[in-house]
Amino acid sequence: MNDRELAATLVPALPFQERLLLSERLTADRAVHPIPVRLRLSGPLDPDALRAALAGCVRRHEALRTGFETVDGRPHQVVVDAPGLPVPLRTVDLTEDPGRLDGLAAEEAGRPFDPTAIPQARAVLVTLGPDEHELLLTVHHAVCDGSSIEQLVAELVAGYGGEDVPPPRTGLLDWTARRLHDAGSPAATADLDHWLDRLDGVATVLELPADRPRTTSVESVAHRVTVESALVDRLRALGRAERTGFAATLLAGLAAVLHAHTGQDDFCVGVPLSLRDDPALDRTVGPLLTTVAVRLRVAGTFRELVRATGRALREAQAHTTVPFERVLDSLALPRSGGLAPLFQVMFTHERVRRRQWDTGGVRVRADIAGATAARNDLTVAVTELDDRLDVLVEHRADIFDPDRLGRLAGHLRTVLAAAAGAPDRPVVRLPLLDATERDLVLRRWNDTDAPVPATTAAALFAACVARDPDAPAIHTGGTTVTYGELDVEVETLARHLADLGAGRETLVGVGLPRGRDAIVALLAVHRAGAAYLPLDPSYPPARLAAIVTGSRCATVVTRPGVLPPLPVTEVHLDAHPPGRTVPVAPAPDDLAYVIHTSGSTGVPNGVAVTHRSLVARVLDDGCADFGPGQAVLNLASLSFDASVSEVWAPLCNGGAIVVPRVDQPFLDQVREGVTGAPVTTLQLVSPQLPLVLDSAPELFDGVSQVVVGGDLLSPGHAAGLLARRPGVRFTHVYGPTECTLFALTDSPAEIDPGRSTVPLGRPLANTRIYLLDAGARPVPLGSPGEIHLAGVGVARGYLHQPALTARRFLPDPFGPPGTRMYRTGDLGRFLPDGRVEFLGRVDHQVKIRGFRVEVGEVEATLCAHPGVREAAVVVRDGRLVAHVVPAGADPPDTELLRGHCRTTLPEHLVPAAFSVLDRLPLTRNGKVDRAALPAPAVPVAGGSARTPVERELAALWARVLDVPDVPDDTNFFLAGGDSIRIAKLYDLVDATWPGRLRLAELFELGTVRTQAAAVLDREERDTDA
């Protein structure tokens, strides 16, 4: 038997075919790679002539006589020499129920192929009426491509009409032999080197914001928009001017949209490229294409992006000798069953040559339907019709909401229209949102205007004194101080401070611990017309000195020995002479206080807040009632802006403050407050909620209002609070010091357990929120953007730091003239109902092996596990390390935590190491002190520590990978695995433990340890059953 005869019977599958067949095994219940065609046949149809035309196509094309078998662990093509082999054709009569046609078409397209069946094609002839039929033709992509389908349809029409159809000059077998030969050539090696160099350092995940956790489902949803002919002409002209072609212009537009949706500026998009580089292949039916990863760098003007995209496409087309599957294997990327490696977005572009024919008395209209299974997270298919573009956006149904991602097609049209008119505009300045979406995020969700009284906190306190001087103002140490008694002390100190020069726009330090003294000092400073500067006595002397010096503060209210020596005049409580000067009341726009936050340079930044901002918050903070009869527990240091709410909100509304002893642990302070005084309101920062709820939940029983401030709040603990106290008024609040206490609030009656964190909520009265990208454009709904806050709560700026103020407090381009907005550095996204979800910090984003990682997402996932109370994730030595605090007495199993993470996170977001702590270290402001987190212990792996299942699995790995041994915690693909080897591994695993693991799980559970744990879990469950 010569080589040609051997090839005619059994030839190795092409790498492209191997990849498609493997993905079909991952989703055995439905076809992932069909190419469905619907042919509407109008007129008197001859079914026998149709069958003959189909048989002619089979006779001419080897691809339609091909199936697949596995030989020595590798897929092979089996081509039969049977010219009379028919395409299976069944008939269905829907004359009485034509409405079932679309459902039948989808069902037929999704029906899986048996890879051993020949042909890899099938047809259904549907009768809709006496002279109305529809042919549903489905061909597997492993033996066909888009051009092949057009060729088959044209031949089918010609054959039905009795025309002679010539055979192709080159068949699939000859094409396969050529492609396999070229794959081993020096040119292929050079191409591989090109791709490895071209893709070095690129992000391997394009992080389109997901609405739900990723699954292995391949269900898809499709949306269509039309681009009108006038815009098409302008886009063509731009492509001609830059000598790049139309496809490059369209792909550049898509790159601009993806950048806006993700914030990433360097990523890959999959693009199928035709390999029909020889006229002899014009009529060949087969998978004559390769899919490559086109690296897109979004920068500069749109014209520059078009040029760069054109170069990238030309380079890609010039380096197609090497199968791209070999490139993927050489990159050794971690893989999961639900996440494609390197690119998750596909772009296709085609020009339809013909869609309608008249033959044999029948009018034929062809529709090459969109796929019913999601081959990628997102596919954008652009089809050139006669006078317009048809843009099909298809996305995975499991992770994306249809409404949100469906808008992407409209964003593409908007960007292309703007770019066609102004190609020299920077990409990040191109408009993205249509008028409706823009109005929603900028105006309707920011419609919060409300009256703000022209008064001050000092005047509001005085009004409370006048209204009811006998009302309780402070409860502390078993005693109660009334508003009237407090007012006397305040007046005495205020007159003395006025004697010393305190007045409007001057700063007076308050260097006292929490308590009655501190509250008197704060009120006195305000009555003197001045602004107060908190100086926490627990701070290091050097930091206190830096705050005093940087603030140019000359006077501090304290007690002897409380503060270290500082360059200030100390005013000691109860030891100062009577004051003589009548204070001058502050004005609404005067400075009220300065609180320092940590600066990136190590020097603290003083945030200057006016009375107008303070009054707007304490009179209507939207989170709790602070009026008469209410009592707030004062837990925050004066240097933390939560104290502003705990002190000023009750004292400006007639409520009371409860101050516990500060020289005791946090839980004891809470216990003293809620059991020894009439506390109604408890304000906590987010790490404190799980601490109280898990350690002393009874402390919530007598509280009617709970306010939790912070960005990342576990839904499990929020739900736990509501379950413990069903009638409690629970409010989650968010806002930086620079925006006066709180900017967003959410008071959910129920908690959505499917979310990774409790939403931040909606803007308060007189507050506006914008989620903006790097070009200061509003981001699309559901996409990440940096949170910018505007409105009356925005601080004056950073004290004596005009340059820093100018960088962070920016002109508000969307608000009234002259207003400003604060750039928070936090990332968020809009939920469909207008609430904002926190996504992390801009400066907490890191890269690991080319993946962009937001540690906040990992922390939220860990906190959703019932065995975890708190979590903090950091990067050490290029890997993610998770520090967890158990919810109970027993620490959670780290392998279970890894498995939990893998249910919602891709492999690169699964921590490589875990550290179990009694508690997370906190800064003085109650935030996690990441610098103080300890290094994790080095885990023991392999050797004698292995279980019997781990040892056997490791042996199977070693056999497949052809290595002596493998580490227990190394990912299969990082250890040298590829798509062929993982299929071999699955066959061995299934033979050893039948039915214990699915192929998809080998992708998800990428290490020996996790796979062994899954095997043992299934065995235990089967035993229990």
Please name the residues in contact with 957: beta carbons below 8 A apart, sequence gap of 6 or more: 963, 966, 972, 975, 985, 1008
Least confident range from 23-37, 72-86, 130-144, 707-721: namely 23-37
194 by Cβ neighbours in 10 Å (0-12 / 13-18 / 19+) ranks as: middle
**SS3 per residue for 43-92:** CCCCHHHHHHHHHHHHHHCHHHHEEEEEECCEEEEEECCCCCCCCCEEEE
pLDDT value of position 130 = 92
Please name the residues in contact with 635: beta carbons below 8 A apart, sequence gap of 6 or more: 642, 646, 660, 666, 669, 670, 673, 683, 684
For helices 642-651 and 516-527, angle between their N-to-C axes, nearest 10 degrees: 70
Instruction: Reply yes or no on whether the pLDDT at 941 is more than 50.
Output: no
| Average pLDDT of the residues in 911-927 | 79
Positive or negative, the Cα torsion across 711, 714, 719, 722? negative
Are the beta carbons of 86 and 51 closer than 8 angstroms?
A: yes
Indicate the pairing of strand 836-841 with strand 820-830.
Answer: antiparallel
pLDDT value of position 853 = 66
In the 8-state DSSP scheme, what is residue 577?
P
Architecture in CATH of 450-615: 3-Layer(aba) Sandwich (3.40)
- Max mean pLDDT among 370-374, 410-414, 851-855, 947-951 falls in 410-414
Instruction: Reply yes or no on whether the pLDDT at 746 is more than 50.
Output: yes
Q: What are phi and psi of 330, to 5 degrees?
A: -70, -30
Positive or negative, the Cα torsion across 714, 715, 720, 726? positive
Are the beta carbons of 8 and 81 closer than 8 angstroms?
A: yes
Q: Where in the chain is the domain with CATH 1.10.1200.10?
A: 943-1024
Sheet hosting strand 605-610, strand order edge to edge? 569-572, 555-558, 507-510, 531-534, 591-597, 605-610, 797-798
Share of the chain above pLDDT 70, in %: 93
Neighbours of 696 (CB within 10 A): 14
Instruction: Reply yes or no on whether the pLDDT at 686 is more than 50.
Output: yes
Assigned CATH class of 943-1024: mainly alpha
Instruction: Reply yes or no on whether the pLDDT at 3 is more than 50.
Output: no
* Fold (topology level) of 3-172: Chloramphenicol Acetyltransferase (3.30.559)
Q: How confident is the model at residue 861 (pLDDT cuts 50, 70, 90)?
A: confident
Indicate the pairing of strand 555-558 with strand 507-510.
Answer: parallel
Instruction: Reply yes or no on whether the pLDDT at 779 is more than 80.
Output: yes
Least confident range from 232-241, 838-847, 875-884: namely 838-847
pLDDT value of position 40 = 96
**Residue-by-residue DSSP string for 631-673:** EEE--S-TTSTHHHHHHHHHHTTT-EEEE--SSS-HHHHHHHH
Positive or negative, the Cα torsion across 919, 920, 922, 926? negative
Does 119 sit behind a cis peptide bond, omega within 30 degrees of 0 on the bond before it? yes
Q: How confident is the model at residue 550 (pLDDT cuts 50, 70, 90)?
A: very high
Digit-coded pLDDT (tens) for 955-970? 898 888 888 887 766 7
- Superfamily name and number for 849-932: ANL, C-terminal domain (3.30.300.30)
305 vs 389, higher pLDDT:
305
C-alpha–C-alpha distance, residues 433 and 407, integer Å: 9
Is residue 203 helix, strand or coil? Answer: coil
906 vs 690, higher pLDDT:
690
| Average pLDDT of the residues in 716-735 | 92
In the 8-state DSSP scheme, what is residue 138?
E
Instruction: Reply yes or no on whether the pLDDT at 555 is more than 90.
Output: yes
Digit-coded pLDDT (tens) for 72-92? 888 999 999 877 778 889 999
| Average pLDDT of the residues in 341-361 | 86
**Residue-by-residue DSSP string for 409-474:** HHHHHHHHHHHHH-TTSBGGGS--S-HHHHHHHHTGGG-------S--HHHHHHHHHHH-TTSEEE
The separation between CA 556 and the C-alpha centre of its own chain, rounded to angstroms, equals 47
Instruction: Reply yes or no on whether the pLDDT at 402 is more than 90.
Output: no
- Max mean pLDDT among 685-694, 799-808, 935-944 falls in 799-808
How far the first Cα of the chain sits from its last, in Å, is 55
The strand ranges marked E within 144-265 are: 220-227
732-759 CB burial, b ≥16 within 10 A, e <16: bbbbbbbbbbbbbbbebeebeeeebbbb
Please name the residues in contact with 750: beta carbons below 8 A apart, sequence gap of 6 or more: 722
C-alpha–C-alpha distance, residues 430 and 260, integer Å: 10
pLDDT value of position 1018 = 81
Q: Where in the chain is the domain with CATH 3.30.559.30?
A: 176-358+370-442
Instruction: Reply yes or no on whether the pLDDT at 171 is more than 80.
Output: yes
| Average pLDDT of the residues in 714-733 | 92
Q: How confident is the model at residue 763 (pLDDT cuts 50, 70, 90)?
A: very high
Instruction: Reply yes or no on whether the pLDDT at 938 is more than 70.
Output: no
pLDDT value of position 1025 = 58
Residue with tokens 């993905």: 23
Indicate the pairing of strand 507-510 with strand 531-534.
Answer: parallel
* Fold (topology level) of 176-358+370-442: Chloramphenicol Acetyltransferase (3.30.559)
Compute the mean pLDDT over every residue in the chain, rounded to the nearest whole number: 89
Report the candidate in 615, 610, 662 with the shortest Cα–Cα distance to residue 636. Answer: 662
Q: How confident is the model at residue 710 (pLDDT cuts 50, 70, 90)?
A: confident
Instruction: Reply yes or no on whether the pLDDT at 506 is more than 90.
Output: yes
Are the beta carbons of 409 and 223 closer than 8 angstroms?
A: yes
Instruction: Reply yes or no on whether the pLDDT at 661 is more than 60.
Output: yes
Q: How confident is the model at residue 947 (pLDDT cuts 50, 70, 90)?
A: confident
CA atoms in the 13 A half-sphere facing the CB of 351: 7
Instruction: Reply yes or no on whether the pLDDT at 669 is more than 50.
Output: yes
Structure tokens at 180: 């396999």
806 vs 32, higher pLDDT:
806
The separation between CA 276 and the C-alpha centre of its own chain, rounded to angstroms, equals 39
- DSSP run (H or E) holding 749: none
Report the candidate in 853, 836, 859 with the shortest Cα–Cα distance to residue 714. Answer: 859
Q: Where in the chain is the domain with CATH 3.30.559.10?
A: 3-172
| Average pLDDT of the residues in 142-146 | 94
Query: For the chain, how are helix, strand and coil distributed in percent, rounded to 5?
Result: 35, 25, 40
Q: How confident is the model at residue 621 (pLDDT cuts 50, 70, 90)?
A: low
C-alpha–C-alpha distance, residues 345 and 962, integer Å: 34
Instruction: Reply yes or no on whether the pLDDT at 464 is more than 50.
Output: yes
Please name the residues in contact with 551: beta carbons below 8 A apart, sequence gap of 6 or more: 507, 509, 533, 594, 606, 799, 800
C-alpha–C-alpha distance, residues 858 and 868, integer Å: 13
940 vs 274, higher pLDDT:
274
Are the beta carbons of 842 and 801 closer than 8 angstroms?
A: no
Are the beta carbons of 481 and 472 closer than 8 angstroms?
A: yes
Digit-coded pLDDT (tens) for 811-858? 999 999 999 999 999 999 999 999 999 988 887 666 554 445 667 778
| Average pLDDT of the residues in 739-761 | 88
Residue at 925: amino acid letter: N
C-alpha–C-alpha distance, residues 210 and 377, integer Å: 10
C-alpha–C-alpha distance, residues 484 and 486, integer Å: 5
The separation between CA 129 and the C-alpha centre of its own chain, rounded to angstroms, equals 50
In the 8-state DSSP scheme, what is residue 628?
T
Report the candidate in 841, 865, 849 with the shortest Cα–Cα distance to residue 907. Answer: 849
Least confident range from 42-56, 282-296, 325-339, 514-528: namely 325-339
Q: How confident is the model at residue 385 (pLDDT cuts 50, 70, 90)?
A: confident
pLDDT value of position 649 = 97
Neighbours of 675 (CB within 10 A): 11
| Average pLDDT of the residues in 51-58 | 94
Least confident range from 510-524, 678-692, 788-802: namely 678-692
Residue at 27: amino acid letter: T
Are the beta carbons of 683 and 642 closer than 8 angstroms?
A: yes
Q: How confident is the model at residue 942 (pLDDT cuts 50, 70, 90)?
A: very low
Count of residues in the chain: 1025
For helices 47-60 and 146-160, angle between their N-to-C axes, nearest 10 degrees: 130
C-alpha–C-alpha distance, residues 716 and 754, integer Å: 10
